Chain A
């Protein structure tokens, strides 16, 4: 795959894996209304994945469509960030992941909507409206749980603590990012960090929480080096397509 196709693939993989994780909540959320909200976010993410994976396949030019890229690659070929593949855990842990990632997606897509490459800009502009809502919803839950009962607060702190080590990866730059910027499609992710920190800190303050203690960053997702969770997720997600590889559906 060339660098630009890889670049599109990364964003598609982020959204796809998070969409799959949120789908696991279906029918299990704390309340009917929350169930609908989580499913809505999942559907938005799957929609974004369809666009980005479709674009990746088109740039690659080898006839792989979004379905092929979603269902016929193995763990090492997935380039999502490690944050989105983390287990749902309890509701607080899921909301911690959503909160950290949605605020990142907002900043990312704000910039990507401005790039010269119209294909990337168009997907980002559409996705931006969706992720702004996700960030708001997740942020509200951070405040409710963080500033809620003793138990909800303890769970929120534990959830944030679990997810925190995977946040540095969101802003790490490599040669694929550089090539995408040169091609007029990429975003300087490192430059998003300051604004992300500011927004996260503001919401945490409102939730009467403090930032988890810094720890060694866990990296590798973009290069296909994943946590032990992704393989199991893919075995669920891809079973049918692996059993009947060229079926139409």
Chain B
């Protein structure tokens, strides 16, 4: 690899497909600026299908949770069934829930 300090920064790419409800993370691209990142994301991840929406953001801007904290963050929810609305019957024809 060449000198990392001379490489374009990394951008995370989120795509909302035609008829999709939310943007999903699909991968990343290197680009010098946001506009270039959008163009590269378009070529790399959407093949320019019409009706899709793209988000790019600098990877450096993302703050993620620490895997070491996973137990404290997520496990308390697991044994409290009353927190989960799983006892309702969902009528037919209700989608995207």
Q: Is the CB of A144 within 8 A of B32?
A: yes
Tell me, yes or no, whether A31 is within 8 Å of chain B by CB.
yes
Interface size on A, residues (CB 8 A): 12
Contact B43 A40 (CB under 8 A): yes
Q: Which residues of chain A from 135 to 160 have any CB-CB distance to chain B below 8 Å in the complex? A: 136-137, 140, 144
How far, in whole Å, are A196 and B44 apart by their CA atoms in the complex? 30
Chain A contact residues: helix, strand, loop or mixed: helix
- Closest Cβ of chain B: how far from A234's Cβ, in Å? 28
Instruction: Assess the B48–A33 pair: CB atoms within 8 A.
Output: no
Among B40-63, those with CB < 8 Å from A are: 40, 43-44, 47-48
A32 on the B face (CB < 8 A): yes
In chain B, residues 1-57, which have Cβ atoms closer than 8 Å to a Cβ of chain A? 8, 29-32, 35-36, 39-40, 43-44, 47-48
Establish whether residues B35 and A140, one from each chain, have CB atoms under 8 Å apart when the complex forms. yes
B30 with A31: CB separation less than 8 A? yes
A239 within 8 A of B: no
**B32 lies within 8 A of A37 (CB):** no
- Distance of A22 from chain B, by nearest CB (Å): 13
Within 8 A of B (CB), among A11-38: 31-34, 36-37
Evaluate contact between A140 and B44: CB separation under 8 angstroms: no
Interchain CB contact under 8 A, A133 and B35: no
Q: Max chain A CB contacts within 10 Å: which of B8, B32, B40, B47?
A: B40
List 5 additional A-B contacts (Cβ < 8 Å) besides A36-B44, A133-B48: A33-B44, A36-B43, A40-B43, A136-B39, A137-B39
Closest 7 CB pairs of A and B: A33-B40, A36-B43, A37-B43, A40-B43, A33-B29, A36-B44, A137-B39
